[in-house]
Amino acid sequence: MTPPRPTVMRLFTIGDETTHVVGDPECPECQEEYPEPCPCGGLIHAAAGEEDEEGTPWPQTRCDVCGRSEEEID
Ligand SMILES: [Zn+2]
Ligand SMILES: [Zn+2]
């Protein structure tokens, strides 16, 4: 059996979502408008996060290189 791609996709996890693709600017698991570029040169991925008391969802974000969230970078 030949794999469909020569390179192995590296996956990483945010919260319960385990299928974010490292280095993929069109990561299929990300929320709309993500991934975003990180100052470190990586990509910030976003997973569906918690809702606050008013029902506003806050995505959980994490860079696939440095591991920081958007809040930590700002
Ligand atoms: Zn992602
Ligand atoms: Zn980063």
- Residues 1-20 pLDDT 10s: 665 665 778 999 998 889 99
pLDDT averaged over every residue in the chain: 90
Separation of CA 6 and ligand 1 centre (Å): 21
Q: How many CA atoms lie within 13 A of 39 on its CB side?
A: 7
Separation of CA 2 and ligand 1 centre (Å): 26
Separation of CA 56 and ligand 1 centre (Å): 21
- Is residue 4 assigned to a domain? no
- Is residue 27 assigned to a domain? yes
Q: Give the closest ligand to the alpha carbon of residue 46.
A: 1
Range of the domain at 34: 11-73
- Is residue 47 assigned to a domain? yes
- Is residue 5 assigned to a domain? no
Question: What is the pTM for the complete model shown?
Answer: 0.81
Phi-psi domain of 16 (left: phi exceeds 0; alpha: psi -120 through 50; beta: other): alpha
Q: Looking at the DSSP assignment, which residues form a beta bridge with residue 51?
A: 57
- Is residue 62 assigned to a domain? yes
Domain count of the fold of the chain: 1
- Rounded to 5 degrees, φ, ψ at 47 are -115, 155
Q: Are 38 and 66 within 8 A, CB to CB?
A: yes
